[in-house]
Protein backbone atom coordinates (compact mmCIF):
# COMPACT_ATOMS: atom_id res chain seq x y z
CA UNK A 1 0.00 0.00 0.00
CA UNK A 2 1.59 3.24 -1.14
CA UNK A 3 1.40 6.21 1.16
CA UNK A 4 0.40 9.62 -0.10
CA UNK A 5 3.10 12.23 -0.59
CA UNK A 6 2.84 15.38 1.54
CA UNK A 7 1.52 17.35 -1.45
CA UNK A 8 -1.08 14.65 -2.23
CA UNK A 9 -2.20 14.76 1.41
CA UNK A 10 -2.46 18.55 1.31
CA UNK A 11 -4.41 18.37 -1.94
CA UNK A 12 -6.84 15.89 -0.32
CA UNK A 13 -7.44 18.31 2.56
CA UNK A 14 -8.23 21.16 0.15
CA UNK A 15 -10.30 18.93 -2.13
CA UNK A 16 -12.71 18.11 0.73
CA UNK A 17 -13.72 21.77 1.22
CA UNK A 18 -17.28 22.30 -0.02
CA UNK A 19 -18.75 25.14 -2.01
CA UNK A 20 -20.82 27.34 0.35
CA UNK A 21 -23.49 27.98 -2.28
CA UNK A 22 -23.85 24.35 -3.37
CA UNK A 23 -22.75 22.29 -0.36
CA UNK A 24 -22.92 18.93 -2.15
CA UNK A 25 -20.01 20.02 -4.35
CA UNK A 26 -16.41 20.20 -3.22
CA UNK A 27 -14.13 22.82 -4.69
CA UNK A 28 -12.42 19.93 -6.50
CA UNK A 29 -15.77 18.78 -7.98
CA UNK A 30 -16.42 22.33 -9.10
CA UNK A 31 -12.98 22.55 -10.68
CA UNK A 32 -11.90 25.74 -8.94
CA UNK A 33 -9.05 24.07 -7.00
CA UNK A 34 -5.98 24.72 -9.15
CA UNK A 35 -2.96 23.89 -7.00
CA UNK A 36 -1.70 23.17 -3.51
CA UNK A 37 1.93 23.78 -2.54
CA UNK A 38 4.03 23.73 0.60
CA UNK A 39 6.55 26.52 1.09
CA UNK A 40 9.86 26.10 2.90
CA UNK A 41 8.55 27.78 6.05
CA UNK A 42 5.70 25.24 6.28
CA UNK A 43 3.04 27.55 4.86
CA UNK A 44 0.43 25.94 2.64
CA UNK A 45 -0.43 27.85 -0.53
CA UNK A 46 -3.74 26.99 -2.16
CA UNK A 47 -4.55 28.39 -5.59
CA UNK A 48 -8.18 28.66 -6.65
CA UNK A 49 -10.02 30.26 -9.55
CA UNK A 50 -13.45 31.77 -8.90
CA UNK A 51 -16.34 30.72 -11.11
CA UNK A 52 -16.56 34.37 -12.06
CA UNK A 53 -14.73 37.49 -10.91
CA UNK A 54 -16.48 38.97 -7.93
CA UNK A 55 -17.94 35.64 -6.80
CA UNK A 56 -19.11 36.23 -3.21
CA UNK A 57 -18.33 32.64 -2.19
CA UNK A 58 -14.56 33.19 -2.42
CA UNK A 59 -14.29 34.71 1.07
CA UNK A 60 -16.16 31.78 2.61
CA UNK A 61 -14.04 29.27 0.66
CA UNK A 62 -10.87 31.03 1.81
CA UNK A 63 -12.01 30.80 5.45
CA UNK A 64 -13.02 27.14 5.05
CA UNK A 65 -9.62 26.30 3.54
CA UNK A 66 -7.80 28.08 6.37
CA UNK A 67 -9.90 26.19 8.92
CA UNK A 68 -9.42 22.80 7.22
CA UNK A 69 -5.65 23.20 7.13
CA UNK A 70 -5.48 24.57 10.67
CA UNK A 71 -7.40 21.53 11.93
CA UNK A 72 -4.91 19.32 10.03
CA UNK A 73 -1.95 20.99 11.75
CA UNK A 74 -1.06 23.63 9.16
CA UNK A 75 -1.75 27.02 10.78
CA UNK A 76 -0.03 29.05 8.03
CA UNK A 77 -2.23 29.12 4.93
CA UNK A 78 -2.33 31.50 2.00
CA UNK A 79 -5.12 31.30 -0.56
CA UNK A 80 -4.29 32.83 -3.94
CA UNK A 81 -7.02 33.71 -6.43
CA UNK A 82 -6.02 33.27 -10.06
CA UNK A 83 -8.28 34.75 -12.73
CA UNK A 84 -6.43 33.56 -15.83
CA UNK A 85 -7.27 31.35 -17.48
CA UNK A 86 -10.85 32.02 -16.53
CA UNK A 87 -12.78 29.19 -14.92
CA UNK A 88 -15.02 27.17 -17.19
CA UNK A 89 -17.74 24.63 -16.52
CA UNK A 90 -15.48 22.31 -18.53
CA UNK A 91 -13.40 22.04 -15.35
CA UNK A 92 -16.25 20.44 -13.37
CA UNK A 93 -15.78 16.75 -12.71
CA UNK A 94 -18.27 14.14 -13.88
CA UNK A 95 -18.83 13.29 -10.21
CA UNK A 96 -19.62 16.95 -9.58
CA UNK A 97 -22.13 17.03 -12.43
CA UNK A 98 -23.82 13.91 -11.04
CA UNK A 99 -23.94 15.45 -7.54
CA UNK A 100 -25.60 18.57 -8.97
CA UNK A 101 -28.33 16.52 -10.61
CA UNK A 102 -28.90 14.44 -7.48
CA UNK A 103 -29.20 17.71 -5.52
CA UNK A 104 -31.86 18.98 -7.92
CA UNK A 105 -29.76 21.34 -10.05
CA UNK A 106 -29.46 20.59 -13.75
CA UNK A 107 -25.74 20.33 -14.60
CA UNK A 108 -24.31 22.42 -17.43
CA UNK A 109 -24.85 21.18 -20.95
CA UNK A 110 -22.50 21.95 -23.82
CA UNK A 111 -18.95 23.12 -23.27
CA UNK A 112 -17.22 26.36 -22.41
CA UNK A 113 -14.04 27.88 -23.79
CA UNK A 114 -12.38 24.50 -24.38
CA UNK A 115 -14.99 23.65 -26.95
CA UNK A 116 -17.90 25.13 -28.80
CA UNK A 117 -20.97 26.11 -26.85
CA UNK A 118 -24.00 24.64 -28.54
CA UNK A 119 -26.86 27.05 -28.06
CA UNK A 120 -30.38 25.78 -27.87
CA UNK A 121 -29.57 22.54 -26.06
CA UNK A 122 -32.51 21.28 -24.07
CA UNK A 123 -32.00 21.38 -20.32
CA UNK A 124 -32.99 18.12 -18.66
CA UNK A 125 -35.18 18.36 -15.57
CA UNK A 126 -33.23 16.94 -12.61
CA UNK A 127 -36.50 15.73 -11.05
CA UNK A 128 -38.20 13.70 -13.82
CA UNK A 129 -35.46 13.86 -16.52
CA UNK A 130 -37.79 15.37 -19.10
CA UNK A 131 -36.37 17.58 -21.83
CA UNK A 132 -39.66 19.48 -21.98
CA UNK A 133 -38.35 22.45 -20.00
CA UNK A 134 -38.24 26.21 -20.36
CA UNK A 135 -36.17 29.07 -18.99
CA UNK A 136 -38.05 31.29 -16.56
CA UNK A 137 -35.20 33.64 -15.71
CA UNK A 138 -31.62 33.93 -16.97
CA UNK A 139 -30.53 34.33 -13.32
CA UNK A 140 -31.36 31.88 -10.56
CA UNK A 141 -30.37 31.71 -6.91
CA UNK A 142 -26.78 32.64 -7.87
CA UNK A 143 -25.29 34.31 -10.93
CA UNK A 144 -23.97 30.92 -12.08
CA UNK A 145 -27.47 29.49 -12.40
CA UNK A 146 -30.62 30.14 -14.41
CA UNK A 147 -34.15 29.36 -13.25
CA UNK A 148 -36.03 26.77 -15.30
CA UNK A 149 -39.37 25.01 -15.11
CA UNK A 150 -40.35 21.55 -16.28
CA UNK A 151 -43.50 21.41 -18.38
CA UNK A 152 -44.05 17.73 -17.49
CA UNK A 153 -43.62 17.51 -13.70
CA UNK A 154 -44.24 21.28 -13.28
CA UNK A 155 -41.31 21.66 -10.87
CA UNK A 156 -39.02 24.70 -10.96
CA UNK A 157 -35.27 24.03 -10.84
CA UNK A 158 -31.91 25.73 -11.17
CA UNK A 159 -29.71 25.09 -14.18
CA UNK A 160 -25.96 25.56 -13.74
CA UNK A 161 -25.16 27.67 -16.79
CA UNK A 162 -22.30 26.90 -19.17
CA UNK A 163 -19.60 29.40 -18.33
CA UNK A 164 -16.32 29.91 -20.07
State the burial class of residue 50 (Cβ atoms within 10 Å of its Cβ: 0-12, 13-18, 19+).
Answer: middle
| Domain spans, the chain | 6-81, 89-160
CATH class held by domain 6-81: alpha beta
77-112 per-position pLDDT tens digit: 999 999 999 999 999 999 999 999 999 999 987 644
Mutual angle of helices 57-71 and 6-15, in 10-degree steps: 130
- How far apart are alpha carbons 68 and 126 in whole angstroms? 32
CA-to-CA dists, residue 87 to 15, 52, 92, 131, 157, angstroms: 17, 7, 10, 27, 23
Query: Whole-structure pTM over 0.85, yes or no?
Result: no
113-128 per-position pLDDT tens digit: 444 334 456 899 999 9
Amino acid sequence: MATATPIESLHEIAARVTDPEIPVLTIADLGILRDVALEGDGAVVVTITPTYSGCPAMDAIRQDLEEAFSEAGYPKVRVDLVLSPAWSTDWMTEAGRAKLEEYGIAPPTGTGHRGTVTLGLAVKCPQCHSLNTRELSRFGSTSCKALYSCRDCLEPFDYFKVLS
